[in-house]
Amino acid sequence: MLDNYFPVLMFIAIGLAIGVAPMVMGRFIAPNRPDPQKLSPYECGFDAFEEARMRFDVRYYLIAILFILFDLEVAFLLPWASIVKELAGNEAVRLFGFYEMFVFLGILVVGYVYVWRKGALDWE
């Protein structure tokens, strides 16, 4: 029974070793010369003038949504485009595959128009 799980245990052990070994080596090999300047919370030359947990503009999140929309579009369009010839050859799914992608692109266009109307693409 243990023979069946031995490769899995070895995989986990090697993965942990690859993940932990560089951190341990860096801790022991890297030079450690702290000084007050280096230990200060901000190394930019001046103290913070705002709270670290400030609010971001909503447009930032709308741009993130837009990026996710187009990222998903590419993630779904490329596999669909690679099998479009096979879809066209099969009579049962020919129009279904086309309309399915048409609906998907329509949903993405609605998301794009939403972000556009909210003004996320107009930076001041």
For the chain, the domains span 2-39, 58-118
State yes or no: pLDDT of 64 exceeds 70: yes
pLDDT at 24: 94
- Gap between the Cα atoms of 81 and 108, Å rounded: 17
Residues 68-119: tens digit of each pLDDT = 878 878 888 888 888 888 877 877 777 887 888 889 889 888 878 887 887 7
How high is the mean pLDDT of the chain? 81
- Lowest average pLDDT, out of 3-12, 49-58, 101-110, goes to 49-58
What secondary structure does DSSP assign to 1-37, as a single string?
-HHHHHHHHHHHHHHHHHHHHHHHHHHHHS-----HH
